[in-house]
Amino acid sequence: MTHSPKILIVGGVAGGASAATRARRMNEQARIIMLEKDAYVSFANCGLPYHLGGVIQDRAKLLVAKPEMFKKRFNIEVRVRHEALAIDRTSKTVRIRDHQAGTEYTESYDKLILAPGAAPLLPDVPGVRATGVHTLRNIEDMDRILSQLPSVQKVAVVGAGFIGLEVAEQLKERGLAVTLIERGGQVLPPLDGEMAEPLRRELLRHGVELISGTGFTAIRETNGKASGVVLEDGRVVEADLVILGLGVRPYNQLAVNAGLVVGPTGGILTDEYQRTADLDIYAVGDAAEYRLGTTGLRGRVPLAGIANRTGRLVGEHAATGQSATAPAAWGTAIIKVFGLGAGIAGDSLKSALKRGVEARAVHITANHHAGYYPGAKSFTLKLVYEAGTGRILGAQAVGAAGIDKRLDVVASFLHFGGTVRDLAQVDLAYAPPFGSAKDALHMAAFAAINDLEGSAPLLAPDVDLSGYQVVDLRDAEECAELKLIGAEHALNIPLNNLRERLGELDKSKPTAVACHSGLRAHIGTRILRQHGFDAHNISGATYVRDLALNRNFTAAAAATCGATKPCGAPAIATDRHDELHPLNVMAEASTGALLLDVRSPAEFRSGRVQGAVNLPLESVNATTVHALLQGREQATVLLLCASGGRARTAAQRLAASGLKTFVVQGGTNSCAQAGLPMDKDAGGMISVERQVRIAAGSLVATGVVLGTWVHPGFYGLSGFIGAGLVFAGVTDWCGMGLLLARAPWNK
């Protein structure tokens, strides 16, 4: 190949832009031309929904690189509004239309890179091209939707995949009435049903109306404008804005017309270097097919990550004639839906079984970092592995925090062909603010090994329990709070009483063991198997079984989900608020956030962060806080107390209020130490915290004096106060402080 090749690139977003810049870095002599039929190149298409919702406020931040930057920094010629019409492989030329000038011309190439992307699916139904019906693929689509939003009240989003969920969430956050329509039986179809169910409940909790199990047959038009979506069952969803998120189809016609081969999934067929049947023509991005890690076959993966990585390799190969081979695509993806995240890497259980793989799975529910460290949030991990070999096939995770790093670890194991035994031994970073000594990944690997070796075999969470002797190891209160579905015949034996009640069980029957999330059930399974029972642990236990089977979970039930428990999981302790470092307090307050001090008035007078408003904890509720927020542009509340305990209690009270709450770490004490501006009233009383020290010290001293001179029994007073102080230090809850805060001199 020539040392100064002319490289022509069709498509200027993820794959095309990565190819262009890598080609330049590898060959300074190459001439590189990039064509883009739209008005923008190298924009952040994954950020489009978040600009619609106002999370990303500056539109310019979506424009990662402009044509001028490509020219100045990389000497790459970028031509926007230039569309490739046809490829002549014999003469190695491309016919191009300049939409700005209204002319056509021919451009030659030595190497041609096709990265035209994909187009949103647009079904052939009446009204689909009416005003007010949109897809979201590029900047122009986003601008058209934004221009209509001021007149919109009701939105219908059709399709509950990644883009549909993101758009539904963001438009709901803008205060619009949103209906989400999904033809399948669940949201986010790539996930297994029980792993997608928390997202459905989260959508309901935030007031999104869900319609599943039916598609649509038409868009109703009124005076040429969309006014509703007509469903297959005859119902009409009222809407003055319709967003279609039904998937994408590859732009492959240019390749097809040039005689290039298209693969079974519609993408341009490529080899290990992403070359097409014509070795001087490459294909990357949403229009190309990749080697799929799950199957070893070729297929499309319309995700930005694989497009960028392979674009880089293609640019190098086109510029130098050599590069590493393209990696396998595992389809790792993640999404945020209000307070939850969900994601997948590799196979789901249903996709593995559909391919005929003998696959098994384990569910682990855990905190994203050490439970005793403030702010721990719950998530559920599902690890899919091959029976016999233990080879990791994939993972899914859903929860309030920490799912991204677990999925990334699994993605690494998929790339290198790891097993559950490898995962059990991996050395992960640990400190209480970041994780646990035995991470959820370790726990999943341990459980998978126990399953494979038969020491604690697993049952699927949706297993029919009618043929099993069922032992529920939870306390009676837990059993009353969340039912073990389909196990009315279960015998409730708390774990600590299991050994002494073994005589109540029949060793001749297969036994299914449950608790809330699986840990106690594992212990119980091991006890029973060592006493001769054919015992099995229900994977994910009662919580995941509820997700798998309780599809009647309603919007009314979702609305009652509080701050200390995710929907359907009453016994899992988790906070639904975020925590804020003191150094970030003033920056947040400057944007309009309410700085709310929930200490007593006396404490507040004795010293507070500048600009804070006082509302004692006993008065904190949605009504009082909303009243304080009147006139502010945003509904964000920064909660303060002395050290954090009362602020977290306040956050829990406000969990269902729709407010965004942050607990300031360490409270006013940490704010003062961090150097934040503080105010103090003249003659303010000493803080309740100091009052607690004085009262506790006085009572301890009194107990010692009376125990020495009157009766030894008075030593118990000192011991009681000491134990109370230890309890307050461990739990950050101080009963004496709450009592003193109510004293008349603190009002």
The catalytic site residues sit at: 46
Rg of the chain (C-alpha set): 30
How many Cα atoms occupy the beta-carbon half-sphere of 442 within 13 Å?
12
Q: What are phi and psi of 226, to 5 degrees?
A: -65, 135
Name the strand (E) or helix (H) holding 346. Answer: strand 340-346
- Residue 427's Cα: distance from chain center in Å? 24
Tokens of 68: 């001028």
Contact by Cβ (8 Å): 616, 624: no
Contact by Cβ (8 Å): 631, 599: no
Tokens of 342: 């969900």
Helix (H, G, I), strand (E, B) or coil at 689: helix
Helix (H, G, I), strand (E, B) or coil at 145: helix
Give dist(CA 311, CA 350) in Å, integer.
Answer: 31
Contact by Cβ (8 Å): 545, 514: yes
How many residues are there in the chain? Answer: 747
Q: What are phi and psi of 702, to 5 degrees?
A: -60, -40
Instruction: List Cα–Cα distances, 254 to 10, 83, 250, 257, 302, in angstroms.
Output: 10, 10, 11, 5, 18
Give dist(CA 354, CA 358) in Å, integer.
Answer: 10
What angle do the packed helices 14-26 and 304-320 form, to 10 degrees? 30
Q: What are phi and psi of 554, to 5 degrees?
A: -100, 170
Give dist(CA 718, CA 707) in Å, integer.
Answer: 9
- Residue 401's Cα: distance from chain center in Å? 7
Contact by Cβ (8 Å): 11, 286: no
Give dist(CA 727, CA 735) in Å, integer.
Answer: 10
Amino acid at 740: L
Give the residue among 152, 214, 395, 399 at the shortest CA–CA distance from 293.
395
Tokens of 415: 């790339």
Give the residue among 350, 384, 378, 352 at the shortest CA–CA distance from 193.
350
Amino acid at 347: D
Contact by Cβ (8 Å): 290, 328: yes
Give dist(CA 667, CA 298) in Å, integer.
Answer: 55
- How would you classify the pairing of strands 359-367 and 378-386? antiparallel
Give the residue among 568, 364, 381 at the shortest CA–CA distance from 483.
568
Tokens of 78: 């970028």
Long-range contacts of the stretch 275-279 (C-beta < 8 A, 24+): 275/317, 276/114, 278/89
Beta bridge partners of 103: 98
Give the residue among 402, 403, 394 at the shortest CA–CA distance from 362.
394
3-state helix, strand, coil in the chain (%, to 5): 35, 25, 40
